[in-house]
A and B are shown apart, each in its own frame.
Chain A
Amino acid sequence: MMQIALVGNPNTGKTSLFNQLTGTYEYVGNWSGVTVEKKVGLLRNKQGALIDLPGIYSLNPLSRDESVVTHFLLSEPFEGILNIVDASQLERNLLLTVQLLEFGKPLAIALNMTDVAERRGIFVNEKRLAEKLGVPVVPIVARTGKGCEQLNEQTFAFLQQKITPLQLFYGNVIEKGIERFILLVGDKVDETIPKRWLALQFYEGNRYVHDYLKQRVDAEKLHSLYTEVENELQKQEGVSLAQWIYDQRREYVRDLILHVVERKNVGQVPLTERIDAIVTHKYLGIPLFLLSMYLLFQLTFDWLGAPLSDALDAFFAGPLTDWITAGLAAIGASEFIRSLVVDGIIAGVGGVLVFVPQIFILFFFISFLEDSGYMARVALVMDRLMEAVGLNGKAFIPLVIGFGCNVPGVMAARTIEQPRERLLTMLLTPLMSCSARLPVYALFVGAFFAKHQALVVLSLYVLGVVVALLLAKLFSTTILKNESSVFVVELPPYRMPQWQALWRSTWDKGKGFIRKAGTFIFGGSVAIWLLSYVGPHGVNVEMDESFLAMIGGILAPILVPLGFGTWQAGAALLTGFLAKEVVVSTMNIIYHVPDVESLQGLMVSHFTPLSAFSFMVFVLLYIPCLATVATIRKESGSRKWTLFSMGYAFIVAYLLSFIIYQGGRMLGF
């Protein structure tokens, strides 16, 4: 099947275009070598696959995210490139196009945001642009789908036509350097990669191209060639290689723009600037951010989520259990099977599934913040605070995403340029209270803090953030001493997110939770039920005599100072490592109750409000879940730091719960 790469600057509507051009079928995997999500969709015309690549400004990467594209060009087979270009930011978009054209693969340009450009008085003559560059140019509005039909028809056609690589004149020094480079590498590099392109990337200082070459060509000779050309250019022109090459390309692009763009004066203040005057206001910025977070939590947990979850819970505990019990009785199932299904699977899996509405609502709002462009403003507004703890504003975005699920949060840290800041962000993201911890809070606040539900839950979220910031300060001044931290963030124009795109990304994020319920939590529930059903003295034993009680009992003594030294709590916490929501499943099974409401009634005899709060704090912090640990391992590439992320979390959780419980008792709670 034909492979087409989708390449373009960040914030140019790549995801919208991807959704428009591909159907529902989509393969998500990882690039070999680097753990960056690889999204491949089948084109609607069924004639090829579209590969979604991370947004980049230039082929010379600064962050790990961006290196994927260079890696792709160097090592993956593909037939053509679909280059998405933002018509309202033509200059910097075309700078990338030039590098892609130099690569020489068949290429088509999707000229996006022509509507935004025209509102700003920028009119692009796409016919002339196509003529000048010698490739097809299709104007589109990816958000609404305008022009995508035409693009889909042409994508196949453009791949048939070979194009000659674009060849700019880079001045005598570079041109001579290119010749010498081509002689030096000879036939030691892959035939599919144009040597001129390779030479230019080499002189620009593209680290990945350097690594690629070092594996094939004598490193010393490469190095001496590079320094010779660099010195020669410095002597003649007085600028660095990278700057010179950039300048030549920009001159070409500016000249091109003069020929294809017509400017008209529109003279109206864009909406984005009017919104920014408020949300990035000097003093209103932070309060507005906190207010929007508060509204997000109220909507998710109180106003919308709670009624939906309650209805679902009532359905599982009532009609569904009755139907299944009746059905099992009708087919004459044994007591063992009945108990397994009703007490194990329905209690365990159902106890977690009831939180699906809340989790989807949370993911929906996080997607909304991402798609609207507000997230970048959050990075700007929070940078001062993050700088104080040794991070930068961009690290705040993984933390916010971590509220939905820690796994994408850890992965989102890839956009951070500095390796140490990125590692630090990955280590701290698990402290963000993800949606899987929500079922645990919901259970306990319902039982002990019925009047102040939202407030208590909010306090846990805030606690997670505060602990993360304090630890950031601690780590960045001790074990992870930072090289000077840097921060540059692009603030894209605001856009009203499209419903279709929002639903798609909400579903992408949320489906993992449902899948987890069907696999991990299902298996975990069965295992836990079995452990509670059998004991050293046989099957169908009293719960206190079961294997589960024995295992939990080992942990119980060390949990006594925290206020919940029972085998039940110990067993729930142990199983919670699989996934945090399993804590609730385990409790449902242990306490042998059909629904959340009666479980809450029972909890009151095992916990006090103080020990319940201490327990919630412990669950918040004590360990990243299994999936998060695996992600940290892959993303950091280090076993040591993965172990560290688990170890420090447990120590901090223990200390904090200890202080809360013992302190609270002294204060007389």
Chain B
Amino acid sequence: MMAMTQLQSGDRAKIVDLSRVSELVRRRLLDMGVTEGVEVCLKCTMPLGGPFMIESCGQCLGIRRSEAMRIQVERV
């Protein structure tokens, strides 16, 4: 288990734990079908500690590094 921020661009991983993510972000992720057990792919990261772009089930979304740090994943 590791934080999403430890992934490299292009890595695929399965989400294990979202409980430390802030309520609002978790709701939004849920809206887009991103929840525990779902596989995601880290597409790219923006420079200077900018947001992460992740892909899940063929759709892309952006979240902040600070939130990605609270998402626990498992490499697949």
Contact = CB atoms under 8 A, between A and B. Distances in A.
Interface residues of B, number: 29
A282 B32 CA distance: 24
Interface size class of A (residues with CB under 8 A): 35 or more
A380 interface: yes
Interface string A484-506: 10111111110000000000000
A246 B30 contact: yes
B22 to A, nearest CB: 6
B46 A381 contact: yes
Interface stretch (A68-76, A84-92, A516-524, A575-583): A84-92
B31 to A, nearest CB: 3
B60 A282 contact: no
A78 to B, nearest CB: 24
Contact of B58 (A58, A88, A381, A488): A88
Nearest to B29: A488
B64 interface: yes
B24 interface: yes
Interface string B2-44: 0000000000000000000010110111111100000000011
Contact of B33 (A91, A277, A282): A91
A370 interface: no
A283 B48 CA distance: 10
B1 interface: no
B43 A276 contact: yes
A379 interface: yes
B60 A62 contact: no
B20 to A, nearest CB: 14
B33 A92 contact: yes
Contacts of B25: 486, 488
B47 A490 contact: no
Given A486-B24, A487-B63, A380 B32 contact: no
B61 A491 contact: yes
Contact of B64 (A91, A92, A487, A492): A487
Interface in A463-516: 484, 486-493
A639 interface: no
A393 B62 contact: yes
A565 B72 CA distance: 63
A57 B49 CA distance: 29
Contacts of B28: 57, 62, 417, 488
Contact of B44 (A58, A280, A418): A280
Contacts of A490: 32, 59-61
A266 to B, nearest CB: 11
Contacts of B43: 273, 276, 280
Interface of A: 57-58, 62, 88-89, 91-92, 95, 120, 246, 270, 272-273, 276-277, 280-283, 285, 376, 379-381, 383-384, 387, 393, 417-418, 484, 486-493
23 contacts: A62-B27, A62-B28, A89-B57, A91-B57, A246-B30, A280-B43, A283-B47, A379-B62, A380-B53, A381-B46, A383-B50, A383-B64, A384-B47, A486-B24, A486-B25, A486-B64, A488-B24, A488-B25, A489-B62, A490-B59, A490-B61, A491-B62, A492-B59
